[in-house]
């Protein structure tokens, strides 16, 4: 694993109240769970060696330029409309090939979770990128608690389907609910997290509150938001973008500068917040996470398995 310098809160927090956060973190100890804190408290999280030392985007950038088609097709729609989504109470149905299937409340899921801050690069298939300081825990830790049965080969995810609160779901275009999936070994990789916060606070609705997937070496559309269902399966699950346009979007969707989208190059990216005259940056294989994940794809033709 590549060890990178961790930023402290002063570096990553654009607000003036970072000292409070730092005090909370210092006093919180190593094994942290939301259950120990009052609901409205800032989230305490341990730093992670998986964090990049790249400078994070501002909270404003991360929360005002979004893809969350349940709320519309414009980048500004999620910030405008996602506030309508009720995220409390929230439960996640865990099923399929697991030992302990059931509907689990978010508080139950978070009770023993070790929350970490993971500052990750984030690369959308549309060739823009950000750096985001997520708070979350490994998907592997949740799947281990659910107990994965030997026959399971994939993990399927489903987003909330609630047209009454999601204007985009009242329009056509996508066969709702939004669905995604990972191969089991991708799901168990330590880089794969379920995020419940960013910048030390609960996840804003437009970023997929209250719980969303983050898979930093894949194009952003794999990182499904506002998850209500996780199913362990034997067969490769249906995924929204592949179902919509299989020639353009595959199941794997690994960030790869050498495999272009049929309509544009993936060789470089535009960093959000860079300004009008910022040069595009080269896109890195597996979004810079090759050391951790290249082995998952040994022997596979990545141009075919895009
Ligand atoms: N349910 C759901 N999840 C989703 C999307 C979506 O439209 N609906 N958009 C995806 C895409 S294309 C991207 S780039 C990221 C954007 O995440 P962000 O808005 O937090 O940056 O969310 C992904 N997850
Ligand atoms: Mo995206």
* pLDDT the model gives residue 80: 98
Are 85 and 165 in contact by the 8 Å Cβ rule? The answer is: yes
Among 69, 221, 248, 270, say which to mutate for ligand 1: greatest number of ligand atoms within 8 Å of CB: 221
DSSP letter string, 153-164? -EEEEEE---TT
Each residue's pLDDT tens digit in the chain (306 positions)? 444 444 343 343 333 333 334 333 333 333 344 444 444 557 889 999 999 999 999 999 999 999 999 999 999 999 999 999 999 999 999 999 999 999 999 999 999 899 999 999 999 999 999 999 999 999 999 999 999 999 999 999 999 999 999 999 999 899 999 999 999 999 999 999 999 999 999 999 999 999 999 999 999 999 999 999 999 999 999 999 999 999 999 999 999 999 999 999 999 999 999 998 999 999 999 999 999 999 999 999 999 999
How far is 188 from 276, CA to CA, in rounded Å?
Answer: 39
Domain parsing of the chain, residue ranges: 1-42, 43-297
* DSSP-assigned beta bridge partners for residue 196: none
3-state SS, residue 259: coil
Q: Which atom of ligand 1 lies nearest, measured to the CA of 126? A: 14
How many A from CA of 127 to the centre of ligand 2?
A: 8
Catalogue the E-assigned strands of 2-90: 46-47
Closest C-alpha residue for ligand 1 atom 15: 220
The number of the ligand nearest the C-alpha atom of 126 reads 2
Are 249 and 107 in contact by the 8 Å Cβ rule? The answer is: no
Q: Output the pTM of the full model.
A: 0.89
3-state SS, residue 128: strand
Q: Which residues line ligand 1 (CB under 6 A)?
A: 66-70, 124, 159, 178, 207-208, 220-221, 223-226
For 109, the enclosing helix (H) or strand (E) is: helix 106-111
Are 280 and 268 in contact by the 8 Å Cβ rule? The answer is: yes
* DSSP-assigned beta bridge partners for residue 111: none
Closest C-alpha residue for ligand 1 atom 7: 68
User: What CATH code would you report for 43-297?
Assistant: 3.90.420.10
Question: Of 82, 180, 177, which Cα lies nearest the Cα of 139?
Answer: 180
Q: Which residues lie below 8 Å from residue 54, measured CB to CB, with a gap of 6+?
A: 119, 121, 131
């Amino acid at each position: 694993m590549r060890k990178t310098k961790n930023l402290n809160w002063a570096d990553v927090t654009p607000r003036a109240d970072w000292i409070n956060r730092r005090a909370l973190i210092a006093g919180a100890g190593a094994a942290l769970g939301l259950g120990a804190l009052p609901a409205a408290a800032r989230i305490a999280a341990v730093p992670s060696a998986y964090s990049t030392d790249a400078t994070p985007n501002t909270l404003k950038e991360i929360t005002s330029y979004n893809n969350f088609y349940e709320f519309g097709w414009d980048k500004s729609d999620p910030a405008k409309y996602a506030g309508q989504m009720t995220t409390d109470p929230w439960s996640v149905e865990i099923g399929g090939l697991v030992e302990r299937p059931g509907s689990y409340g978010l508080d139950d899921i978070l009770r023993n979770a070790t929350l970490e801050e993971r500052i990750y690069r984030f690369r959308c298939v549309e060739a823009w990128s950000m750096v985001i300081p997520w708070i979350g825990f490994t998907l592997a830790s949740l799947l281990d608690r659910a107990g994965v049965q030997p026959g399971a080969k994939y993990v399927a995810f489903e987003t909330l389907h609630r047209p009454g609160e999601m204007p985009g779901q009242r329009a056509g275009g996508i066969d709702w609910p939004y669905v995604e999936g990972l191969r089991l070994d991708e799901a168990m990789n330590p880089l794969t997290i379920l995020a419940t916060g960013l910048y030390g606070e609960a996840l804003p609705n437009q970023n997929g509150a209250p719980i969303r997937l983050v898979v930093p070496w894949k194009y952003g559309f794999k990182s499904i938001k506002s998850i209500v269902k996780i199913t362990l399966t034997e067969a490769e699950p249906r995924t929204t973008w592949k179902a919509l346009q299989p020639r353009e979007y595959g199941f794997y969707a690994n960030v790869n500068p050498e495999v272009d989208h049929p309509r544009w190059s993936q060789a470089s990216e535009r960093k959000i917040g860079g300004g009008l005259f910022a040069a595009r940056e080269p896109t890195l294989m597996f979004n810079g996470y090759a050391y951790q994940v290249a082995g998952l794809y040994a022997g596979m033709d990545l141009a075919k398995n895009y």
